[in-house]
Structure 1
Amino acid sequence: MTSSLDALKAAARRAPIVPVLVVPDVDAAAPLAEALVAGGLTIAEVTLRTESGLKVIEEMKKAQPDLIVGAGTVLTGEDVSNAMNAGSDFLVSPGMSPKLLDALGDHKDITIPGVATASEAMTRHEEGFRMLKLFPAAIAGGVGALKALSGPLPHLEFMPTGGVSADNAADYLALPNVVAVGGSWIATEKDVAAGAWSDVVAKAKTALTRI
């Protein structure tokens, strides 16, 4: 059976830009999902930095069932349970801790943990994680770091986030160990607050033409 992470990889082959979203207003969820799909995107990460995050995931999935929607900023076992109950297709964490590792259980297979060093990347791989997030990518060495890691660790796959922008996304995606990139520029908090859905569509389309 195809796992959610396999589905994410397949979707990333079509559109490897993953907007990282902060959405305080649940009412914005449906039109936001529609704008992302209209722009050609296939994956979205909704951070759990707001009280509405879980409900936003639910509403985005209802509005666009084919859109792969994950929960970001997953920090605790409670976050894991709540995100899965909300219908999250995947989970993203800025790092990993012993308690979160234990809490993930069977959901480890769909979790993308943040790493910043080769040792962290090797450890996460040994623990069974199938995709990693170089985070914060710009501070952790960016394109140069990923290029260097691909030599001794060619079996590892990444979704770098943190400092990825319209200007450098293509540089990351040109690397063989990068499956997708995450970034906030496609649908910023300002875009979401203003309901600037046409701008979101335009930025998504532009991003896909530049990779």
Structure 2
Amino acid sequence: MSTSAAPSARPEPGPSVLDMSPVIPVVVVEDAADAVPLARALVAGGLPAIEVTLRTPAALDAIRAIAAEVPEAVVGAGTVISPEHVVAAVAAGARFLVSPGWTEGLLEAMRASGLPYLPGVSTVSEVLALLERGVGEMKFFPAEAAGGAAYLKSLGGPLPQARFCPTGGIGPAAAPGYLALPNVGCVGGTWMLPADALAAKDWGRVERLAREASALRQR
């Protein structure tokens, strides 16, 4: 019989990414010069927690700029998929880490960083494995493709100790359904960052959409 910890292991202590804001904008920055005005627009709209994905060459410079010039923002790194990403994100000034999935090496690197982090899951077995390791807060990805709010609701009965930030395919119509669930702390999304607004550097529109998103309070 296995002697590993029971799945009811309590979440790790420390600040929670899930309680920073009802919505975390998931930002893909193509030009680092846009990072500061974009972050200021999101903060002004009531969304201070900002996930900058490590998908572009500009991402780390964007994190550095936001960390240095927008102190009221809580900037994090997303699409963290390797221990090297963890090291680079911490050096750039990231204040939280988000991954689409996890491995033992990545999980250990995120834990060792000292930052709050959300490892990604999409199955019950992955949730159980993280609970065994003392991790109770997770990213649920890709949310809509992996079963949506109905899936997370079904996990609430057997695994109430697990809490989630669902991300992937969520828009303003679906977000309230997720936020109404007791095991969901926040959602991640991009709908407040439409491509045409970013291309036009229409930060006023981004701020308005962020304000609408920030009004999606849980219950």
After TM superposition, the score normalised by the length of structure 1 is 0.91
Partner of residue 78 from structure 1, selected from 77, 84, 109: 84
> Which range moved further: 97-106 or 189-198?
97-106
1:25 aligns with 2:31: yes
Q: Please point out which of 171, 176, 185 is paired with 2:177.
A: 171
Structure 1 unaligned segments of length 5 or more: list them: none
Q: How far apart are 1:153 and its partner, in Å?
A: 0.5
User: Identity percentage over the alignment?
Assistant: 44
Offset at residue 42 of structure 1 (A): 1.8
- Which whole-Å CA distance do the structure 1 matches of 2:115 and 2:65 have between them? 24
Deviates more, 1:103-112 or 1:147-156: 103-112
Distance 2:114 2:195 in 1: 29
Native 8 Å contact 1:58 1:86 kept in 2:
yes
Whether the 8 Å CA contact 1:11–1:43 is kept in 2: the answer is: yes
CA–CA separation in structure 2 for the residues paired with 1:161 and 1:196: 24
User: Residue 140 in 1 paired to residue 146 in 2?
Assistant: yes
* 2:214 matches 1:200: no
Paired residue secondary structure (1:166) = coil
Paired residue total: 206
User: Which position in structure 2 is the counterpart of 1:120?
Assistant: 126
In the alignment, the residues of structure 1 paired with residue 216 and residue 174 of structure 2 have an alpha-carbon distance, to the nearest angstrom, of: 10
Runs of 4+ in 1 over 6 A off after TM superposition: none
Q: Does 1:49 align with 2:58?
A: no
For residue 210 of structure 2, what is the amino acid of its counterpart?
Answer: A
Counterpart-to-counterpart distance in 2, 1:43 and 1:113: 17
Once the two structures are superposed, residues 12-48 of structure 1 have per-residue CA deviations (whole angstroms, 9 ceiling, x without a partner) of 2xxx110000001011011011100111112110000
Question: Quick one: distance in 1 between partners of 2:76 and 2:83?
Answer: 16
Given candidates 158, 161, 164, the residue that maps to 1:152 is: 158
2:7 aligned with 1:37, yes or no?
no
Check whether the contact 1:108–1:129 (CA below 8 A) recurs between aligned residues.
Answer: no
Cα shift at 1:104: 3.0
Counterparts of 2:191 and 2:160, CA distance in 1: 29
1:191–1:197 CA contact under 8 A, matched in 2? yes
Shift of 1:7: 5.4
Quote the RMSD (CA, aligned, Å): 1.9
| Equivalence for 1:11 | 20
1:69 partner SS: strand
Give 1:107 deviation, angstroms. Answer: 2.8
**Structure with greater Cα Rg:** 2
For residues 6 and 137 of structure 1, do their structure 2 counterparts lie closer, same or farther at Cα, with a shift above 3 Å needed?
same
8 Å CA contact retained: 2:80, 2:86: yes
